[in-house]
C-alpha cells in the first residue's frame, strides 16, 4: 500500500467531477430556497448530508488518490468506480433530492418529474431485477482489454465520472425515495429473494479478475511507475479482491433496507384492509374466489 502521506496529499482537478458538483450543488441550493419560499422548511441535517457526505465523498474519490492514480493502478480505479456506483448515491440520497424537488417545483414541473419516474428505463433500472444486470455488465468490462481504455482514456473517464453516480442514483431511488416507488408486499418479496441472487452475481467479475492466471487488459507496464506500485498481475488480483469484497459488503445494508421497506409496505397494506368494512371485505373475498372470470 502507498504511504499515508501519499494517500492524503494526492489531489488533482477533475473537470467532469467539478461540473457535476457545481450543477448538483446549485440545483440543491435552489431547491431549498424555492421550498422555503413556498413555506416548506428543509432539515439542515439533510443539506449537510447531501453536501458533506454525498458530494464530499464524490470529490474525494474523483479528485483524491483514487482519481490521481486510477489510470496506473487497477485497484485504485476499481475502488473509485465501485464506490461511485454503490456508496456515493446512497450518501447523496440522504439529502432526499426527489423529495426536495417535489417541494420546490411547481405543479407542471412535478408532472414532468412523475412522467420521468414512470418511464420504462427508470422503472427497469430502479428495481432489483434490472440493477444487478447493469452492475454485472459494467464490471464485466474489467475482464476485457476495455479495462485499460476505461482507466486511461480522458473521454471514457469523464463519461464514467458523470454516468456511474447517476446510474447508482437510479438503482438506489426505491430505497432512498420510498414514497415515489411504493410497491406491493408481494412484489417486494420477489425483489427481496432476488437480492440474494445478486449477492452471487455481483461477485462473479471480482472472482474472475482475482483468480485469472493472466493480465486480462494486456497492459503490463505504466509510464513513470512509483516505487509502491504493484506489478500488473498483483494489481489485477488485488483489484479483483477489492471488487469482490466491496460488492458483497454493500449488499448487506441493502438487504436490511429492503427488509425495512417490506415491513413498511406490509404495515401500510394492513392499514388499508383495516379500514374496509365487513361488507367490502366479503366482496373482495368473493371476487378472489371467482377469479378473473
- Each residue's pLDDT tens digit, 190-221: 566 666 666 667 778 999 999 988 999 988 88
Intra-chain end-to-end CA distance of the chain, in Å: 67
pLDDT digits (tens, 9 = 90+) for 18-77: 999 999 999 999 999 999 988 888 999 999 999 999 999 999 999 999 999 999 999 999
Q: Are 222 and 72 in contact (CB under 8 A)?
A: yes
pLDDT digits (tens, 9 = 90+) for 49-66: 999 999 999 999 999 999
DSSP string computed for 225-244: --TTPPPHHHHHHHHHHHHH
Q: Where are the alpha helices (DSSP H) in 141-216?
A: 146-152, 154-176, 185-211
Tell me the C-alpha distance between 235 and 39, whole Å.
54
State the chain's mean pLDDT as an integer.
82
Q: Are 167 and 125 in contact (CB under 8 A)?
A: yes
Prediction pTM value: 0.82
Q: Are 64 and 34 in contact (CB under 8 A)?
A: no
* Residue 54 grid coordinates: 454525498
Tell me the C-alpha distance between 126 and 81, whole Å.
19
Q: Cell 436490511 identifies what position?
A: 256
Amino acid at each position: 500500500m502507498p504511504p499515508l502521506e501519499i494517500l492524503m496529499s494526492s489531489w488533482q482537478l477533475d473537470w467532469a467531477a467539478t461540473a457535476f458538483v457545481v450543477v448538483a450543488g446549485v440545483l440543491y441550493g435552489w431547491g431549498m430556497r424555492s421550498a422555503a419560499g413556498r413555506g416548506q422548511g428543509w432539515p439542515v441535517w439533510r443539506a449537510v448530508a447531501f453536501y458533506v457526505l454525498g458530494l464530499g465523498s464524490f470529490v474525494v474519490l474523483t479528485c483524491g488518490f483514487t482519481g490521481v492514480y486510477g489510470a496506473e493502478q487497477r485497484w485504485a480505479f476499481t475502488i473509485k468506480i465501485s464506490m461511485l456506483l454503490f456508496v456515493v448515491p446512497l450518501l447523496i440520497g440522504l439529502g432526499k433530492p426527489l423529495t426536495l424537488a417535489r417541494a420546490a417545483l411547481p405543479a407542471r414541473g412535478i408532472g414532468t418529474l412523475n412522467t420521468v419516474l414512470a418511464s420504462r428505463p427508470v422503472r427497469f433500472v430502479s428495481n432489483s431485477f434490472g440493477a444487478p444486470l447493469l452492475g454485472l455488465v459494467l464490471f464485466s468490462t474489467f475482464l476485457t482489454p476495455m479495462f485499460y481504455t476505461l482507466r486511461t482514456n480522458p473521454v471514457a473517464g469523464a463519461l464514467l465520472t458523470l454516468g456511474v453516480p447517476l446510474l447508482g442514483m437510479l438503482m438506489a431511488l426505491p430505497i432512498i425515495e420510498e414514497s415515489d416507488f411504493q410497491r406491493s408486499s408481494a412484489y417486494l418479496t420477489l425483489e427481496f429473494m432476488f437480492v440474494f441472487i445478486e449477492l452471487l452475481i455481483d461477485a462473479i467479475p471480482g472472482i474472475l479478475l482475482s483468480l485469472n492466471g493472466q493480465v486480462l487488459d494486456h497492459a503490463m507496464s505504466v509510464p513513470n511507475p512509483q516505487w509502491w506500485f504493484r506489478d500488473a498481475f498483483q494489481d489485477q488480483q488485488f483489484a479483483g479482491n477489492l471488487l469482490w469484497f466491496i460488492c458483497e459488503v454493500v449488499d448487506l445494508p441493502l438487504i436490511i433496507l429492503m427488509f425495512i421497506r417490506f415491513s413498511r409496505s406490509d404495515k401500510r397494506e394492513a392499514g388499508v384492509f383495516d379500514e374496509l368494512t365487513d361488507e367490502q371485505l366479503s366482496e373482495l373475498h368473493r371476487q378472489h374466489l371467482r377469479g378473473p372470470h
